[in-house]
Amino acid sequence: MNLSLKTSITNVKLEHPLMNSSGILGSEPETIDILIRYNVSAVVSKTITYEPRKGYDPPIVVELRNGGLINAVGLANPGRDIIPKLIERARRYNRPIIISVGGSSVKEFVEVASTADLYKADAVELNLSCPHTKGYGIEIGSDPENVSEIVEAVSGSIKIPVIAKLGLSDRILRSAEKALEKGAKALTLINTIKALVIDVYSMKPILTNIFGGLSGPPIHPIAVRIVYEIYRELKPEIIGVGGVSDWRDVAEFILAGAKAVQIGTALIKKPDIIPEILKDLQNWMIEMNIKDINEVVGAALKS
């Protein structure tokens, strides 16, 4: 049987559905080399802000007993001047690159996205959902009017596609609606979830920032639920992200409505996971008589 794992997001062609999530490498040209070795279908940069950010002091990551991670890196990155170097390095490999854009104001979002557009990135992903950096993430994305204003401003300023990355909130459906109305061509769902871990011996929070973003297997069913609900209501192009650790997790996202899937925590723990998942996905497709992975996008919603 001839099988096809090829797909696309915002008309960006992908050899298969799997890419890294923002925050997993992608802040320096040398890290692009590593992501290519991981066999991502597209490179997603770390979130790039207008000016360089140092981030928080250690400890910034805690590994949990349930397989998850909590991190509070603080959006550490070199600033927008790194963008042309990242794009040039991805072009060496003929691999699409999506620049993750962060900002504390509409102007900053526009400036960073415009730099990505100027140097011909394939798309930008607006980080509207970081749960642990004050003024940069979920505080913006949980307000649909903020989402509307930022997406409209960025979409009206650049030519390349805009992807809105939204996090868990009680107004995520409305934020998704606003993002799509104002020009977003796709949604990335979801980001890490605000969480806290306490050292029971020191009796204090472990992270210097106190709160961090929970990622890994514990958030996967929540992420699948959000993808399912947003796809059911709006039928947008979706990149699913959250807690992928094997092919079943990827298949769940696709069946819920995602055309592509990002991997984060699992790539840190197992750098060779993507080829393994792709092989197992193909075995599943043979078993289920699926010739093209796009045939089953959103299949869980079909009667």
Which residues are designated catalytic?
A: 130
Contacts of 247 (CB under 8 A, 6+ apart): 276, 277, 280, 281, 284
Contact at 8 Å (CB) between 186 and 238? Answer: yes
- Whole-number Cα distances in Å, 48 to 84, 98, 286: 12, 11, 40
Distance CA 188, CA 191 (A): 8
Contact at 8 Å (CB) between 298 and 275? Answer: no
Cα–Cα nearest to 97, from 111, 81, 78, 84: 84
User: Which residues is 53 bridged to in the sheet?
Assistant: 77
Contacts of 291 (CB under 8 A, 6+ apart): 1, 2, 3, 4, 285
User: Which residues is 204 bridged to in the sheet?
Assistant: 199
